[in-house]
Structure 1
């Protein structure tokens, strides 16, 4: 069975700042913020939520179908997917624009500052989701605004259960739009910051959201996860990483593991458990698509 993964394909430029952001930013001078960070280490990786989730799910033996767009510079990414054995039938190449680009800077405490150019991602809505007998589930991860709205509707119309994981795309939507996403979704996953924003905008607590779907997961970074089902909360403990090398892509590694568990019919808590293990494995490696399980 296959899983449709809606989200971005992006080239990540990853930089390492050897200090702490907090030591460079003066809180009382934020109105005239003008800072520069020396980044001795820099590399370029294949990234984007759809690409990273597909990588994780493929490592676990799944059949990911990323649904995304690349620009005129996307030939290398298409070749990358082919090398990984990932089916790119839903990846569309758009001329006259660049593939999405993320510029990510990480400090010594693993805090990150990211600048993101969406490029071809803004046309992701041109590819539609249609019913398919071999597609068992899907996920809405951060993507173009129109794509997220339309793909959620299309998943629902096609009868395909899906995870709503808006990630950094959550601020694009108001309360009624987010409520509509939740009512269409089968599961919802957010981190603790996003979870607070989701509750603020919808007016629903985590317990209330969990009663509208089959389950809600709130990830807590190094503290593990909250799994909410029917208004009841279970804490899934964290897995300690062997070493902390690079947090980039950990959330996507977790998402891929979640999809694998859901495909197997596992409980949501067991899915989150696997996500924590895979995320801990990823954080001990460099790059969102350079680890093995």
Structure 2
């Protein structure tokens, strides 16, 4: 299966605040917040949801096509992605803007406050998915992740016109999309990804009930952090996949992207949706135990051991041939 991954390409500035944000917030003054948090750790990492998912797919042995816009500083980052196995030839490199920046501070209870600078991502709408498909001689799936809204809408429309199955993953861009845009992004999607909070926001944005959303999509995958994952369709009862427990959470950033990579890899191997979700949960835990979204080491034996412990020997046996 040839998978295109559209979405942001960014540099992450990850900081850790040893206290609690809640201790600094005064409920009556939240409309006039002016706060500074003294962080005791800073890590500068490469990230962005599109790049993170593509990196995870490559780590699992696929050759994903990254579709996004980066800046004049993309050279070393692009080389690293290519070395990992990501096809970056469809990345648009801006001649004047910097690659997007994600600045995130995490407190000791893993609450996060973040700011995102779009930078070169603003040019993602200039990429034509038809050109990408022609270059790689066909695409079997495109995941439309968080990106410049015009790019997300254009890629979705082009994919439907070309008959390319879509995995809709609007995530944090739901805050910027209006109702009509959101409905256009998810209608006709074979897969729909949200986390638990985004699922409620999605219903509000579209004005549709859960049943009405399911009537317009294929499988709706809702990630619930330590609560696992729900798989929902218009037919049949929801299925629940428990999360793989983490020995420790070093950094919560990127766990959802890793889940998506594992899930899509599992589908490309013709695993069931439930088994693909189990693989995604196992990979997400590997990332949670690492600092940064692309800094993890992926050892097949260790990944299989996680699957075995959480889901049983049969699950590990079905996944094992693909991790050799």
Q: Give me the TM-score of the superposition, normalised by structure 2.
A: 0.87
Partner residue of 1:100?
A: 100
The secondary structure found in structure 1 opposite 2:297 is coil
**1:143-292 maps to which residues of 2 (within 5 A)?**
143-231=147-235, 232-292=237-297
After superposition, residues 84-163 of structure 1 pair within 5 angstroms as 84-130=84-130, 131-132=133-134, 133-163=137-167
Q: Greater RCO between the two (CA within 8 Å, min separation 6)?
A: 1
Work out the CA distance in 2 between the residues paired with 1:68 and 1:209. 27
What do residues 88-130 of structure 1 show as CA deviations (whole Å, max 9, x unaligned)?
1111111111110010111111111110000000110111112
- What residue in structure 2 maps to residue 39 of structure 1? 39
Greater fraction helix: 2
Structure 1 residues 31 and 107, CA gap change in structure 2 (3 angstroms): same
SS at structure 2 position matched to 1:245: coil
Give aligned pairs, total.
Answer: 293
Distance in 2 between residues matched to 1:169 and 1:31, nearest whole Å: 23
Given that 2:46 and 2:293 are in contact with CA atoms closer than 8 Å, whether structure 1 keeps it comes out as yes
Whole-angstrom CA distance in 2 between matches of 1:205 and 1:264? 32
Query: Structure 1 residues 262-271 or 41-50, which shifts more?
Result: 262-271
CA contact under 8 A between 2:255 and 2:284: conserved in structure 1? yes
2:129 is paired with a residue of what secondary structure? coil
Deviation at 1:208, TM superposition (A): 2.8
Distance in 1 of aligned mates of 2:216 and 2:205: 16
Describe how 1:62-81 pairs up with structure 2 within 5 A. 62-81=62-81
Q: Per-residue deviation at 1:292?
A: 2.2
Structure 2 Cα separation of the partners of residues 262 and 246 of structure 1 = 27
C-alpha distance in 1 between matches for 2:169 and 2:185: 10
Backbone CA RMSD of aligned residues: 1.4
2: CA distance, partners of 1:38 / 1:71: 30
Shift of 1:134: 4.1
Distance 1:118 1:111 in 2: 23
SS at 2:68 equivalent:
strand
CA–CA separation in structure 2 for the residues paired with 1:285 and 1:64: 23
Matched with 2:51 is 51
Q: Partner of 2:284: helix, strand, or coil?
A: helix
Where in structure 1 are there 5+ consecutive unaligned residues? none
How big is the shift at 1:269?
2.3
The CA deviation at 1:83 is 2.4
Deviations 1:191-221 (A, max 9, x none): 0111001111222222332232221011111
Q: Which stretch has the larger CA shift, 50-59 or 80-89?
A: 80-89
What is the alpha-carbon distance in structure 2 between the residues aligned to residue 177 and residue 244 of structure 1? 35
What TM-score comes out, normalization by structure 1 length?
0.96
Contact 1:206 1:216 survives alignment (8 Å): no
Q: Is 261-270 or 214-223 further displaced after alignment? A: 261-270
* Preserved contact between residue 59 and residue 85 of structure 2 (Cα < 8 Å): no
If each structure's strand is expressed as a fraction of its own residues, which one has the higher value? Answer: 1
